[in-house]
Structure 1
Amino acid sequence: MSEGHSIFSPRYAALTIGIILAVMAVGFEGLAVTTVAPAIAGDLDGIRLYGWIFSAYLLAQIIGTLVVGRQIDRKGPAWPFTVALIIFAIGLIAAAVAGDMIVLIVARALQGFGAGAMMTCVYTAISLSYPDELRTKILGAFGTAYVLPSMIGPYVAGVIAQQLSWRFVFWGVLPFLLLAALLSLNVFRKLKVPAVQEKGTTRATWLSVLLAAGTGLFLSGLGMLPQTQGIVLLAAGLLLMVQPLRKLLPEGTLTFRPGLPSLLASRGLFFAAYAGTQNFLVLALTDVKGVAADMAGLIVASAALSWCAVSYLQSRWDAADQGQGRQKRIITGVLLMGVGIAIVVWVPGVNIALSVLGQMITGIGIGMAHPTSGAVAFVNAKEGESGEISANLQFADSFTPGVVIGMGGAIVAVSQAAGMTMGYGIVGAMALHVLLIAMSLFASTRLKTGRRSLV
């Protein structure tokens, strides 16, 4: 294989390995915290603040993602990436030594800001460093690096927490972060972005903070439904979220405008459906069907396996047709996700065999659609837009799933308050995911009629 066709050739090897390690560090940390969160809350006497272990991370990630995207387009990715690494590391150390829940939540906020900013810088480096024919390969590796921790992360974190302490989960991420910095920082310093006109970074910062505040109210309200206080907070959060979303995302994203806006909308919707299905299928298997937690974890990991395999294959398909089949792969991938999710939507009829089949098909679908959508977005970025496009991609991968999972949790809570079983509540949450896939499929058919052909 020639140098121009390998992401591990001497020209790209250091950056590729650095990116993979950075993504794995973020992915492992996020999944590990899900496993050890009950132990953290119990040890720090903070059960009443349990939800904020995750919400603080999500809200800070929104700010880190959107603010840093604008900074990159002004100053390049090297300085923001360095700051993001430092903030993420400080968050890990603060969590490892936290003596109470408030310190732990602040640490999680630092981790969220650092992770959002770091992943935005990584996307930008991919846009600036790799030619179009290699982007589907590095984005496939990116996806694999993020998914692989889902197969071993929860188990490893559980063993560490049981044998040592949950604090060692945070300490254990630091070496990977340091190695990622050593490999990639020098390359980041060499990346240059075209000089562009100031895009109102200060205004974007305030809009990001407003969006985070609105999202916090929205998620808090969801957790209190069906109480009146919950409805009020949910409505207030929605009102605060609408304007920042309209201003921070490309115009027309919320209305599926043909072109790049539809691409970002489709990606956010199908990724949210995937993440939501993963969460609620585990709940269905363990709490409704009585499947052991370790077996449920293996079932969910089957989606990660098929995602990894197809991520590799789609890069070969992309090379074979020189990118001409990208829209078809996105549409096919989203359609397959719909089939996979539909197989597990009816919880009373779900068994281990059907769960594995549904997960494998869903993994194949997202393995086709996710890296391809990133490549399409980058090839259509205007000069000086790499940071902003990177922020939009990272935003789609983080904000939408967080909100959708919160909505699914509210559906389960409301159904139980109405006297229904948890199983039927999960069916309602799964049905929401099917609806999101249908919307994503519609958006993915509108990629060729934008500013430029998106494929």
Structure 2
Amino acid sequence: MTSTTSTRPPSALWAPDRRATTTGLLLLITLAAFEAMGLGTALPTIIKDLDGASLYSWPFTAFLAASIIGNVFAGRVSDRVGPVPGIVAGPALFFIGLVVAGTADTMTQLLIGRAFQGLGAGSQIVALYVMVAIVYPERDRPAVFGALSAAWVVPALVGPTVAGVLVQYLHWRWVFLGLAPFVLIGALLLGPTLRALRARERADIPATPRKWLPLAAFAAGVGLPALTWASQHPEWSSLLIAAVGLVLLAPALRQLLPQGTLLARRGLPVTVLLRGMLSGSFFAVESYLPLTLTSVHHYSPATAGIPLTVGALGWSAASMWQGRYPDMPRHLLIQRGFILIAISLAAMVFVAPSWGPSWLSIPLWMLAGCGMGLAMASTSVKVLGMSEPGDRGFNSGALQISDLLLQATCVGIGGVLLNLLGSTTNPTTAVIVLNLLMAGVATMGAFLSTRSTLDGVNARP
């Protein structure tokens, strides 16, 4: 595909004709981020109030399963009629989910609310990606995705604290209900853009026929949570659940991902795979970093979160930086991001032992965050740049599914290692093995990133 010759600078995101679109886009992403960051803080109290200790992980599982289904259906609708239905339905479903969860008196109602939130978030993100491809010229897209990454910074910094204050001084219900009005405001801000998009003719953009896509979406929506649950409960009885998950997931992925993704085929398929490798390697190590700092180095819960906050700042800064240089080859930014992540994860093995310098986790996680900022935004830009108009929704959904799949898999590997090689009170050996494995994944990603170009075609964003 040819690159756009627009000479608009990144500041064009805030030009008068785009200001409402950019504001609404960032507000919807920020609200979803606040909900995601705040739930972990509020969940222990929620579970206690609703007597749901045996279902502790299911609010996350319900969200994950529903978001996969939302990704796929929003992508399919976007390819057929445009992103407007997904952008309308996504915030609406998310709003309904917030109200249902915020008024829950039982765990069943809470899980229904989380499922609605997952459907909304999954639909919303894919439709917004397609909207970005339509509204913003190609040279502006790095800046757009840099801004989307920055939208996570404030929620990462203050989301858990705000949620804690709401739980302590008001009620956990306000973690959900307090966000609901702002979701409506974000959707209203996108109104002018939606009217303009609806007026565009899409009859000349045929969507690729994909007969089994709906069935594959439901299969993946069951299969991936089954594998996630089994990895979190490594018992003999979980093997059957894991087997069922694999049986459902394996054929579904052949329908949900571009052909050749799992074989790292050059171009679009390997770029989608790289997105999952980024998320999997980074979040697997991050998930067990606070445990290492609290159990091994005796940090308080508050101070154990400092490296994660610093990592979020590094992610945002690097993502914003890459947005200022739209002409830089995306495959090089992806490769450099993987290299930074690989170095950071390998060096984190020195933090795991009790004799290791725990302070080293702060600069190392800043470095890893910078790597994510460079590479994650660049994979989004590159996938949109390599997608034909009738496939943008499908490919954007595949990007999200790859992200969720490998993230859940790699975090699950950490759980298995923790049960086999250590415990929550002595995780050192398990964490060292996990860090080295994930550094290997990132190193492999650095090598595979050279395949994200088509023999020189699409080397630019």
TM range (shorter): over 0.9
Q: Are the counterparts in 2 of residues 344 and 350 from structure 1 also a CA contact under 8 Å?
A: no
What is the percent sequence identity of the aligned residues? 31
Match of 2:223 in 1: 214
Residue 202 (structure 1) shift: 6.0
Moved more, 198-207 or 179-188: 198-207
Matching residue's letter, 1:401:
Q
Q: TM-score, normalised by structure 1?
A: 0.93
Cα deviation code 1:3-27 (max 9, x no counterpart): 6542111121111111111111111
| 2:427 pairs with one of 411, 419, 422 | 422
Equivalence for 2:3: none
Task: Indicate if the aligned counterparts of 1:31 and 1:149 stay in contact, CA closer than 8 A.
Answer: yes
Relative to structure 1, is the Cα distance of residues 433 and 47 closer, same or farther in structure 2, using a 3 angstrom cutoff? same
State which drifts further: 349-358 or 206-215.
349-358
For the residues of structure 2 that align with 1:201 and 1:147, how far apart are their CA atoms? 37
Partner of residue 281 from structure 1, selected from 289, 314, 338: 289
Query: In the alignment, which residue of structure 2 is the partner of 1:248?
Result: 256
CA distance in 1, matches of 2:364, 2:153: 17
Partner of residue 344 from structure 2, selected from 340, 350, 355: 340
2:113 corresponds, among 95, 107, 113, to: 107
CA gap 1:338/1:109 in 2 versus in 1, 3 angstroms: same
Secondary structure of 1:10's aligned partner: coil
Match among 311, 333, 348 for residue 329 of structure 1: 333
Gap runs ≥5 in structure 2: 1-6
Tell me the CA shift for residue 199 of structure 1.
4.1
Q: Find the counterpart in structure 2 of residue 12 from structure 1.
A: 18
- Go from structure 1 to structure 2 and tell me whether the alpha carbon gap of 1:389 and 1:204 turns closer, same or farther (over 3 Å shift): same
Contact 1:210 1:241 survives alignment (8 Å)? yes
Matched residue SS, 2:452: coil
Secondary structure at 2:389 match in 1: coil
Q: What pairs with 1:51-450 in structure 2 (closer than 5 Å)?
A: 51-191=57-197, 192=200, 194-195=202-203, 196-197=205-206, 199-200=208-209, 203-225=212-234, 227-318=235-326, 322-323=327-328, 325-346=329-350, 347-348=352-353, 349-416=355-422, 421-449=426-454
User: CA–CA distance in 2 between the matches of 1:193 and 1:377?
Assistant: 23
Higher alpha-carbon deviation: 284-293 or 56-65: 284-293
Q: 2 CA distance for matches of 1:448 and 1:193?
A: 31
For residue 119 of structure 2, what is the amino acid of its counterpart? F
Contact 1:70 1:387 in 2 (8 A): yes
Question: Do the aligned residues in 2 keep the contact of 1:57 with 1:108 (CA within 8 Å)?
Answer: yes
Cα shift readout 1:225-252 (whole Å, capped 9, x = no counterpart): 1x22112221231222111111210011
| Residue in structure 1 matched with residue 458 of structure 2 by the alignment | 453
TM-score by structure 2 length? 0.92
| The structure with more helix, counted as a fraction of residues | 1
Q: CA 1:149 to 1:10, structure 2 compared with 1: closer, same or farther past 3 Å?
A: same
CA distance in 2, matches of 1:282, 1:350: 15
Q: C-alpha separation between the residues in 2 aligned to 1:305 and 1:217?
A: 33
User: Alpha-carbon deviations, 1:354-382, whole Å to 9, x = none?
Assistant: 01011110011111111112111111111
CA contact (8 A) 1:29 1:170 kept: yes
Measure, in 2, the Cα distance between the counterparts of 1:53 and 1:193: 40
- Superposition CA RMSD, Å: 2.0
Compared with structure 1, are the counterparts of its residues 420 and 167 closer, same or farther at alpha carbon in structure 2 (3 Å cutoff)? closer
**How far has the Cα of 1:86 moved from its partner?**
1.1
Q: Deviations over 1:150-205 (max 9, x none)?
A: 11111111111111111111112113212211111331232247334454566211
Distance in 2 of aligned mates of 1:394 and 1:51: 21
Letter in 1 for 2:364: G
Q: How much has 1:260 moved relative to structure 2? A: 0.8
2:211, 2:98 → 1: CA distance? 28
Contact 2:208 2:390 in 1 (8 A): no
Cα pair 1:71 1:201 within 8 Å, conserved: no
Measured in 1, the distance between the counterparts of 2:141 and 2:398 equals 17
Kindly tell me: are residues 276 and 72 of structure 1, through their superposed partners in 2, closer, same or farther at Cα, counting changes over 3 Å? same
Contact 1:276 1:401 in 2 (8 A): yes
Cα deviation per residue 1:362-410 (whole Å; 9 max; x = unaligned)?
A: 0111111111121111111113122122212222333322332223222
**Separation of aligned partners in 1, 2:356 and 2:123:** 39
State how far apart, in whole Å, the 2-side matches of 1:175 and 1:274 are: 33
Deviation per residue, 1:31-81 (Å, 9 max, x gap): 111111111111111010001011111111111001210111111111221
CA distance in 2, matches of 1:278, 1:165: 29
Matched residues in 2 for 1:52 and 1:435: separation?
31
Q: Which sits farther off after the overlay, 407-416 or 297-306? A: 407-416
3-state secondary structure, aligned to 1:119: helix
What is the Cα deviation at residue 453 of structure 1?
Answer: 3.0
- Aligned match of 2:4: none
Conserved 8 A contact 1:270-1:437: yes
| Equivalent residues of 1:58, 1:399 under 8 A apart | no
- The number of residues matched between the two structures is 448
* Alpha-carbon distance between aligned partners in 2 of 1:104 and 1:287, rounded to the nearest angstrom: 31
Q: Is the 8 A contact 1:41 1:47 kept in 2?
A: yes
